[in-house]
Structures are given as C-alpha cells and as structure tokens.
Amino acid sequence: MVEWRAVSLTLAIVALCFIGIPIKIDNLKSLETRLLFDSYLARFNKSYDLYSKDYEERYKNFKEAITQFQDWNKFRNSSQLAYYGFTKFADLSQNEFKSRYLRHRRSHLENHRHQHPLSEKNGIDRGRPLLKLTGQARPKIVDWRRQGIVSQIKNQGSCGACWAFSTISNAESMLALKTGQLRVLSVQEAIDCAGNGNLGCNGGDTCNLLEWLVENQIQIQTEQQYPLVLHNDVCRLNKSMDHGVAIRDDFLCRDFSDQEEQMLDVIANHGPITVAVNAISWQYYLGGVIRFHCDGASLNHAVVIVGYDLTADIPHYLVRNSWGKDFGENGYLKIAIGANV
C-alpha cells in the first residue's frame, strides 16, 4: 500500500539585510595587518602560497573586509545589536561571496509562474487562508528547536542550493509536527532532480521546488537513502518508493512584506517558515540582532525562521542558515522584528 506523508509548508518572501563586530583595528601598519592575515589563515585552516598572486588577492580582500565591518560597527549602539568581523568568508571578495553562496533565483520564478497554474493557486492572492490564533494571545516566545522538530545545521559549502536546503529543512519540521518523528530528508535529491527552472548547485527557487514536488508527485527520500554530496550529480529518483514524504498541494508561497503580524501568527500556530532574504552583509556576521534596513529588491538567499522572541530588548526572529555550525550563532542568526527589516 502506498503510504504518503503529506506535508504542508509555508514559505515567505521578505527583505532582510544587516550591519554590525566590536573589534577595533585602527591605523594598523602594513606589517601588523599582514601578521593578522597570517593568523586568520591559521585560525580558519586556509593556505595560499606565500606572496603568490592568490595570496595577495586574498590579502587585499581581507583588508577590504576590515574597512567594511569597521564601518558597519559604527551603527552598533547596543550590546544586543549585530556584530561583524572575521569569518571564514573574510578573504573572499564580495563578488566571490555572492557567486558561491547567494544563488537564490527569484527572477526566474516570476517568469515561471506564468507557465504553471499551480503557482497561481499558491500565489500571493490565492494562497490558502493564513492561520490565526483564536481565543488566545500570541506566545511571547516561540522556538521550534525546543520541540525537537528541527534537524541539525547543515553546511551547503560552495553548492548554491540554499533553495533546496531551506525547503527540505522546512519539510522535515512539518513532518515531525505531523508524525512526532524527526527524519532527515534528502537535499541532494532536490539538487540532482528538481526541474521547474531549478539548477542544482547553480541556483534555484523554493516555490519552484515545491511546485515540482507536487506536480510530479515526488516522494522525498531520506538522506540515508539519497546522501548529500554537495555537487550536481545524476538524478536517482525512486518513483516506486512507497514510504517517502509528499508535499500537499495547498502549500503557501506568499509575500509577507509589511505583514509581520501575520507572519508571527504563522510561525506560532503553524511552524517554521522558509524565507527569501538579502544576505549580502552576512559575509562578516558573528552574532547579535540584525536591525538595519537594506534593498529588499535584492533577495539572494533562502533560510528558515524557526521561532521568535518578543521579550528580548530587541524583539527578533530566530533564523536557521545552511553555512555550517561555525557561522553566526552556532549556525543561526537573529533578525529584528518590526519596520519590515
């Protein structure tokens, strides 16, 4: 008997961007900066041939990083706000960082939606009604990690498949809410096989992935069945499988810009949500609450909001990323609630 685990997901498109590390590096002499760079390379286990073209290029990027995050830190007037500094990405140019890690392809989605009626059903105007809390106040703190429905942080490396990591992570949580069992699902299956304009490690879109899963009646395999290899590989769909995870066709893809109250209700009453973000300044993020505005037209990354805290001095969302546990706060970020940040 075919056993389909129908999972209902919610995704949001929001604009998030940031600014912020309390490190003071004023007027460093050239030798001191060079020694600091060599210490950085040792700290992050990186190696370039001394004084080679590659070494000098990385050193140049490193010096530009210092200037950049020092400028951002000038906005930091509270110990709770985001702080930025030396991360594993600090020797990359901004263009390198964007090309390796920020490949969310929303621009293609707009064209693709005109070709697929399912997109219209689940679009901004025709998505299923938003969940609302009735007869009770919205919880002040929600952290779905504490409920055991959020899997361990993954690291996408230089595979630009945030669209797959975030969507599959959301599916894991929805399945755990439905069944009481947390199963680690295959991201690689989506990377290798997803159509509808998705390009594996070269970029894709969360809503397009959901469309493809529903339209083709795909049952998501577990990571054990279809292991993660972090590069585009030959698709190995198993359509005869009778115990995978299927996505319900009433999934919601909605623009929550200027609708944060509704988004909080969905997080509290439905579960984690996948969001598209502007993550250009995450290159140097170390921790704290990101609060500052940015260009919401440049959505280039996909992550999962797993909760929020309205009791904090700066109310914020709890955001799960896919850049490893050594990024941010053990793989997570905090992003301010309010003002459509």
Beta bridge partners of residue 179, listed in sequence order: none
Residue at 78 is within a domain: no
What letters, b where the CB count within 10 A reaches 16 and e where it falls short, cover 276-303? bbbbbbbbbbbbbbbbbebebebbbbbb
Has residue 30 been placed in a domain? no
pLDDT band at 292 (very low <50, low <70, confident <90, very high): confident
Cα angle 41-68-291, degrees, rounded to a multiple of 5: 115
Pairing of strands 273-277, 10-13: parallel
Flag whether 102 is in a domain. Answer: yes
Structure tokens at 73: 């830190």
Q: What is the CATH number of the domain that holds 173?
A: 3.90.70.10
pTM to 2 decimal places: 0.86
227 part of a folded domain = yes
Return the higher-pLDDT residue of 16 and 284.
Answer: 284
Q: Return phi, psi of residue 186, to 5°.
A: -80, 115
- At residue 340 the predicted structure's pLDDT band, cuts being 50, 70 and 90, is low
Residue numbers annotated as active site? 162, 301, 321
> Residue 24's closest CA among 76, 61, 59, 60?
76
Q: What does the pLDDT read at residue 239?
A: 74
Mean pLDDT, range 217-242, rounded to an integer: 91
- With cut-offs at 50, 70 and 90, classify the pLDDT of residue 113: very low
Establish if 154 belongs to a structural domain.
yes
The total number of structural domains that make up the chain:
1
**Greatest CA separation found in the chain?**
71
Cα gap 7→179, rounded to integer Å: 10
Q: Is residue 62 part of a domain?
A: no
